[in-house]
Amino acid sequence: MKKRLRAFSYAFAGLRTFFAETFHAKLHLVAALGVAGCGAWLGASATEWALLLLCIALVFLAEMINSSLEYLVDLAQANQHPLAKKAKDVAAAAVLMAAIFSVIIAAILFIPKL
């Protein structure tokens, strides 16, 4: 049981690290709060809230995986290497894709309500 509880402490430590050390985490948090505010203001339905929350989670998860990969690449390859750059660039592109599609979904949900 202690082992399982300790696993949660590691996850919360990861969240603290993510928000303390990653500028984009703070940026995504502001965007998520903005989306939540728009959802409340425009009266999003339960289904719309589910879609919005999935999009928010997707962007945060992509950014967390991107940050994790950057930490690992920096650990494994202190010097610049073309493959390290490719790994970081592709991970950053995953975040970009998640964000772009999330904005599209938010537009589909919010524009008709304006």
* Residue matched to tokens 């790994």: 87
* Residues known to be catalytic: 63
- Indicate the DSSP class of residue 43: T
Q: Which of 65, 69, 33 is nearest to 52 (CA)?
A: 33
* Cα angle, residue 113 at apex, residues 111 and 114 outer, rounded to 5°: 70
